[in-house]
C-alpha cells in the first residue's frame, strides 16, 4: 500500500471534487490542535482580507489622536503651500535695483514670520488650556489697550488708515490679536455664566457690548474688514453657546444692516460696493484688481500655466502676494489648484467641527468651534472677493497669503486648535496610558489632565 508524505493512504483518498474538503477534515481528525489553522473557512478568509480604502479611513479616524494629527497635517500643508505661492508671487516684484531690493527679500521675510509663527504654534499647543483660559481676561485688556494706542501718535498711518504699529521696521496689526483675544475671553465669560444663559440679558452681556466697543475702535482706524471678522467671532461664540434661533436671527439681521451702513458711509467703500454691483466694470472704475484677478483665473484654465509662469506676479495684479494670492493659485495651478485649496479649508472646517463636537469641556467646545469658524470665514471672504462674488474687503487668505501679524496669530489659532484636539476624551485616556508618543515627546508636550469620568482606580 502506497503511503503519501502526509501519512494518508493513497487508496483512501477519494477521487471526487471533495478532495480538499476531505483532506481538511482528515487533518483536523489526525491533528486536532492544528485544526483551527488548517481548516478552510470562507469567513476567516474574508475577515483576513485587506480592508478597502473607505474602511481603512474610517478605522484611522477612530484612533484617539486622529483629530490632532489631522490639524498638524492641515497646518503643515497650508503653510508649505503658502511658502511656495509667496515665492512665486514675490520673486519678481521684490527685485528693485533702485532700492537694492533683492529677488527673494519678501520671500525671506515670509520665512522669518513662518519660523516665528512655528514658535507661536508650539506655545499654543504646549500651554495647558487652563492657563490659556486664565490669561483670557488679561489678553482682552491688552487687545483693547493696543486698539486704543494704535490711534495715538504711537500708531503708524498709511493708505488713509492708522492701523499698524511699526516695530524694528516690521508692521504689527493689533486687530489680529484682538480677534484671538475675543475668542478666548468670550468663551470664558459664556462658560462662566453657563447656568444663566437661558436669560437673553446674561447671554448678550458683556460679550456684545465689549464687541461693539471693539467695533468702534477698529472703525476709527478705519478697518471694515477687521470689523467684519470681529462680528464673525461674536456671532460664532453666541451660536456655539446655544443662543435661541430667533435671537440669533435678529442679531445677524442687525449686524448685516450695520455693516451695510458702514460700507456706504465712506466714499472709497461706497465705490467698492458700486463697482461690485456694476454689470460691466471697466479697468478705470476702481475694479482694476478684481478685473485682473478674473483674467488671471481665466488664463489658468484647468491645470494652470505652471509655477512661476503666471503673469499676475509681474505687476499686473497689485497685492498678488497678499489679498489676491488666490488669483495666482488659479493662474499657475488652474482650476485643480483652486479646488485643492478649497478642499484644504473644507478639511479645516470638518476637523474643527469634529473637535468641538467631541469636546467634553464647554470652554474647549466654544474655542474650537469659534476658531474654526473664524479661519474658514476668512478664507471664504478672501476667495469670494477674488472670484468676484463679494466686494473687496482686504481679508487675507489664512496661512497662504504673505505673512506678518496675521500669519503669527493664525498659527497660534491652529496651535490652540491642536491643543483642543489633544483634550478629546479618547485622546486624554490614550496619552495618559501610553505616553505622549513620538511627536509629543519631541515637542515635550505635557499630558492633558484626566477628566473625572476617565480616572482609573489603582490598587
Q: What is the pLDDT of residues 150-159, one digit of tens each?
A: 999 999 988 7
Residue-averaged pLDDT of the chain: 85
pLDDT of residue 435: 83
Q: What is the pTM of this model?
A: 0.86
CA distance 374 to 376: 6
Q: What is the pLDDT of residues 56-97, one digit of tens each?
A: 777 778 888 999 999 999 999 999 999 999 999 988 877 766
pLDDT of residue 14: 47
DSSP codes joined into one string, 279-331 = SS--TTTT-HHHHHHHHHHHHHTTT-S-TT--SGGGTTSTTTTTTTHHHHHHH
C-alpha distances out from residue 27 to 9, 18, 33, 184, Å:
13, 14, 10, 68
pLDDT of residue 43: 47
Mean pLDDT, range 338-344, rounded to an integer: 98
pLDDT of residue 265: 82
C-alpha distances out from residue 197 to 73, 83, 201, 250, Å:
36, 44, 8, 17
Q: Write the CB contacts of 366 (distance below 8 Å, at least 6 apart in sequence).
A: 186, 187, 190, 191, 237, 240, 241, 356
DSSP codes joined into one string, 157-196 = EETTEEEEEEETTEEE-HHHHHHHHHHHHHHHHHHHTGGG
Cell of 299: 488664463
pLDDT of residue 403: 79
pLDDT of residue 104: 84
Mean pLDDT, range 114-136, rounded to an integer: 96
Mean pLDDT, range 358-384, rounded to an integer: 97
Residue 343 contacts residue 81 (beta carbons within 8 Å): no
Could you tell me the pLDDT band of residue 394, with boundaries at 50, 70 and 90?
A: confident
Cell of 78: 497650508
Count of other CB atoms within 10 angstroms of residue 322: 19
pLDDT of residue 99: 64
Residue 175 contacts residue 218 (beta carbons within 8 Å): yes
Q: What is the pLDDT of residues 404-429, one digit of tens each?
A: 899 999 999 999 999 999 999 999 99
Residue 266 contacts residue 298 (beta carbons within 8 Å): no
Q: What is the pLDDT of residues 270-290, one digit of tens each?
A: 878 887 777 665 555 457 888
Could you tell me the pLDDT band of residue 129, with boundaries at 50, 70 and 90?
A: very high
Could you tell me the pLDDT band of residue 295, with boundaries at 50, 70 and 90?
A: very high
Q: What is the pLDDT of residues 29-53, one digit of tens each?
A: 544 444 444 444 444 454 556 667 7
pLDDT of residue 158: 82
Is 90 exceeded by the pLDDT of residue 231? yes
Is 70 exceeded by the pLDDT of residue 12? no
Q: Where are the domains of the chain?
A: 67-449
pLDDT of residue 40: 44
pLDDT of residue 114: 96
Amino acid at each position: 500500500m502506497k503511503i503519501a508524505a502526509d501519512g494518508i493512504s493513497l487508496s483512501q483518498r477519494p477521487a471526487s471534487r471533495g478532495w480538499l474538503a476531505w483532506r481538511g477534515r482528515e487533518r483536523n481528525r489526525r491533528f486536532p490542535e492544528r485544526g483551527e489553522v488548517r481548516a478552510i473557512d470562507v469567513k476567516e478568509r474574508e475577515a483576513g482580507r485587506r480592508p478597502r480604502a473607505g474602511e481603512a479611513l474610517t478605522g484611522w479616524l477612530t484612533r484617539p489622536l486622529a483629530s490632532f494629527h489631522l490639524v498638524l497635517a492641515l497646518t503643515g500643508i497650508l503653510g508649505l503651500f503658502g511658502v511656495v505661492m509667496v515665492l512665486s508671487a514675490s520673486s519678481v516684484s521684490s527685485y528693485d535695483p533702485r532700492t537694492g531690493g533683492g529677488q527673494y527679500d519678501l520671500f525671506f521675510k515670509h520665512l522669518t514670520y513662518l519660523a516665528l509663527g512655528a514658535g507661536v504654534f508650539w506655545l499654543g499647543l504646549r500651554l495647558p488650556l487652563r492657563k490659556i483660559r486664565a490669561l483670557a481676561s488679561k489678553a482682552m485688556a491688552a487687545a483693547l489697550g493696543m486698539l486704543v494706542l494704535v490711534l495715538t501718535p504711537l500708531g503708524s498711518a498709511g493708505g488713509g488708515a492708522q492701523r499698524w504699529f511699526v516695530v524694528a521696521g516690521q508692521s504689527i496689526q493689533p486687530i489680529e490679536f484682538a480677534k484671538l483675544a475675543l475668542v478666548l475671553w468670550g468663551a470664558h465669560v459664556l462658560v462662566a455664566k453657563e447656568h444663566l444663559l437661558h436669560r437673553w440679558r446674561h447671554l448678550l452681556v458683556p460679550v456684545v457690548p465689549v464687541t461693539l466697543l471693539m467695533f468702534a475702535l477698529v472703525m476709527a482706524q478705519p478697518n471694515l474688514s477687521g470689523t467684519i471678522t470681529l462680528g464673525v467671532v461674536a456671532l460664532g461664540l453666541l451660536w456655539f453657546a446655544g443662543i435661541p434661533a430667533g435671537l440669533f436671527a435678529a442679531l445677524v439681521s442687525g449686524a448685516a444692516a450695520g455693516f451695510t451702513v458702514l460700507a456706504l458711509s465712506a466714499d472709497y467703500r461706497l465705490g467698492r460696493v458700486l463697482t461690485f454691483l456694476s454689470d460691466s466694470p471697466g479697468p478705470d472704475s476702481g475694479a482694476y484688481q478684481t478685473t485682473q484677478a478674473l483674467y488671471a483665473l481665466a488664463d489658468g484654465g484647468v491645470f494652470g500655466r505652471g509655477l512661476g509662469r503666471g503673469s499676475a506676479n509681474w505687476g499686473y495684479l497689485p497685492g498678488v502676494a497678499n489679498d489676491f494670492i488666490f488669483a495666482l493659485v488659479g493662474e499657475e495651478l488652474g482650476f485643480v489648484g483652486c479646488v485643492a485649496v478649497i478642499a484644504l479649508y473644507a478639511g479645516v472646517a470638518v476637523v474643527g467641527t469634529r473637535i468641538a463636537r467631541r469636546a467634553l469641556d464647554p470652554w474647549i467646545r466654544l474655542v474650537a468651534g469659534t476658531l474654526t469658524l473664524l479661519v474658514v470665514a476668512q478664507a471664504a471672504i478672501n476667495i469670494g472677493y477674488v472670484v468676484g462674488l463679494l466686494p473687496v474687503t482686504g481679508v487675507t487668505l489664512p496661512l497662504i497669503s504673505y505673512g506678518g501679524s496675521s500669519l503669527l496669530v493664525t498659527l497660534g489659532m491652529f496651535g490652540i486648535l491642536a491643543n483642543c484636539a489633544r483634550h478629546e476624551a479618547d485622546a486624554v485616556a490614550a496619552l495618559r496610558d501610553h505616553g505622549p508618543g513620538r511627536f509629543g515627546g519631541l515637542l515635550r508636550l505635557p499630558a492633558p489632565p484626566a477628566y473625572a469620568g476617565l480616572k482609573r482606580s489603582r490598587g
